[in-house]
Amino acid sequence: MDAYTGFAEVYDTFMDNIPYEEWADYIIGILREYGIRDGLVLDLGCGTGTMTELLSESGYDMIGVDYSEEMLEIAMKKKEDSGNDILYLLQDMREFELYGTVRAVVSVCDSVNYITSPEELTEVFRLVNNYLDPEGLFLFDFNTVHKYKDIMGDTTIAENREECSFIWENYYYEKEKINEYDLAVFVKEGELYRKFEETHYQRGYTIEEMKDIVEASGLRFLASYEAFSKEAPDESSERVYVIAQECQKKRK
C-alpha cells in the first residue's frame, strides 16, 4: 500500500472536476436515513480532507485518517483556513487506532481498493467494526473488477495544464485483479518543471467478494448501491457503495 507523495501536491488540482458537494450530499443522506445526524464520524483514507471538511460543515465531529503525510499536510492547511475542528491522524488503515468509538465510518474515493489483499481488507473492516458504536454505520465505496479490467486497464491518461501536467499509465493484471498505475507528474517551478514519479496498485473487487469480506469481518451487510443512487449494482457497475453495520456490541 503506497502513500501519495509528490502527486499529493497537485491532487486537488486534477480532482477539481469531482462533484464533491454532490457526493457529500449522497453520503449525508444515507447517514441521516440511518439516524446519524451528528456525533463522531471517521473519514478513513481522508486524503487532502475535502470530504472531511464537507462532513464537518454539515454538523459532524470529524476524524480523518490517512497514510500519506503529504496529503494530511494539505488537509491541515484546509482546516486552518476553514476553522473546522477536525482531528487528523497519520495512520495506515490496516492498523489504525482511535481513542474511542464513533457513530459512523466513511471511506470514499475508492480508498479501500488500495488494500490489495482480501485478508488485509478483512482486517481493516474488523478494525472498523471494533471502533463503531453499537449499531454504528460503515459506508464505503469501491471500484469493481469491471472498471479496472474493461474501462481503465492498459490505458494511458494524460492532462496538460499550465501549472502542472501528468501522464497516468494503467496496467491490469487479470489473475491478481490488480491495476498498476504509473504516474509521472510535472509541476511548474519558475521556467522549469519538477518531475515526480509514483507507482500505485489497486485491486478490483466483485460485489460478491466484498459482501463476503464485510461479513467475515463481523459487520452486518445491509445494502449495496450503484454509486450515487439507490439502484442495485450489476455487472456493468464501475463504482459501488456498500452500507454495513456493527452488530456485535450491545446498546447500554
**Pairwise CA distance, residues 121 & 209, whole Å:** 11
CA atoms within 13 A on the CB side of 177: 16
**Pairwise CA distance, residues 185 & 195, whole Å:** 6
pLDDT of residue 6: 55
Residue pair 191/215 in contact by the 8 Å Cβ criterion = no
For the whole model, what pTM was predicted?
A: 0.93
Question: Does the pLDDT at position 34 exceed 80?
Answer: yes
pLDDT of residue 9: 63
pLDDT of residue 190: 87
**Pairwise CA distance, residues 244 & 140, whole Å:** 9
Question: Does the pLDDT at position 252 exceed 70?
Answer: no
The cell for 209 is 467478494
Of all residues in the chain, the percent with pLDDT exceeding 70 is 93
What are the pLDDT digits (tens) for 116-125? 999 999 999 9
**Pairwise CA distance, residues 72 & 77, whole Å:** 9
